[in-house]
Amino acid sequence: MSDRLFFSGVGAVAAVLIGLALMWPQGLGERSPPPFGHFPTQRTPEARAAMQRATDAAAKRANEARQTVRDLQTEAVTAP
């Protein structure tokens, strides 16, 4: 294979990859340009509410676990 064909092919592939990188979403939940993308489900109000409920439930479980540990430590310290 001649160098002229090889390096032309490599340049074309590089140009395609650069073009794809310009159009690819830049992070989670980012919207792609119209020919490729759709509205991300993470941005819908229902999904945001579900994520908030999950976060609140996890925080509640963590607080309950901490309180249980505190109660057990208090019992261990005050027990004869």
pLDDT in tens, 22-72: 777 666 666 666 666 666 777 789 989 999 999 999 999 999 999 999 999
Give the angle 47-50-54 at the CA atoms, nearest 5°.
140
- The pLDDT of residue 79: 75
What is the average per-residue pLDDT within 12-20?
93
- Taking the C-alpha atoms of residue 42 and residue 4, their distance in angstroms, rounded to an integer, is 47
- The pLDDT of residue 14: 97
- The pLDDT of residue 37: 66
pTM: 0.51
